[in-house]
Amino acid sequence: MTRPLFATPEDAEIAFYEALENADLDAMMSVWADDEEIVCVHPGGSRITGWEQVRDAWRDIFAGGPTMRCRLSGRHILRMPRLAIHCVHENIVVTDQPRPVNPIIATNIYVQTERGWRMLVHHASPALRDVAPPEAVGPTVLH
């Protein structure tokens, strides 16, 4: 398999989310670094390390075919000469579900290699629901 050259971390991130939406295992793994130290944490899951284990986890997720659409928001980017950290909100709509799932907070870490930018870490966790504060009934007493 010929692996694409991602000129920027943003190019790698676009490819990552396209592969996610299309349930394309080969495209997904083309984004990841060829490194046994890669790390992936899926929402509610445990830490997965190593290329084969990460591939197996994505294969399981993609087994049902394409089932979701993902739009990013709240992007915050930290950039160093050969490293980029993207913190994003993943806004996911699952096929046949009337409402979007709660946002996922993801941290994606990319490294610049001799073959372009590649993902080192994807860590995704469910966002806490925004809970409106209770209406004040009277004065608040701390003591």
Summarize pLDDT for 67-101 with one digit per residue, the tens.
Answer: 899 999 999 999 999 999 999 999 999 888 878 78
| 133 domain residue, yes or no | no
Summarize pLDDT for 120-142 with one digit per residue, the tens.
Answer: 999 999 987 653 333 433 333 33
Domain coverage including residue 34 = 9-126
Helices (H), ranges, 1-110: 9-22, 25-31, 51-62
Contacts of 107 (CB under 8 A, 6+ apart): 85, 86, 87, 121, 122, 123, 124
| Strand 68-79 versus strand 83-94 pairing type | antiparallel
pLDDT of 139 reads 39
pLDDT of 129 reads 65
| 14 domain residue, yes or no | yes
Q: Which residue has the higher pLDDT, 22 or 128?
A: 22
Mean pLDDT, residues 99-120? 93
Query: Residue 53's domain is classified under what CATH number?
Result: 3.10.450.50
In the chain, the number of structural domains is: 1
% the chain with pLDDT above 90: 73
Mean pLDDT, residues 104-115? 96
Q: Which residue has the higher pLDDT, 59 or 140?
A: 59
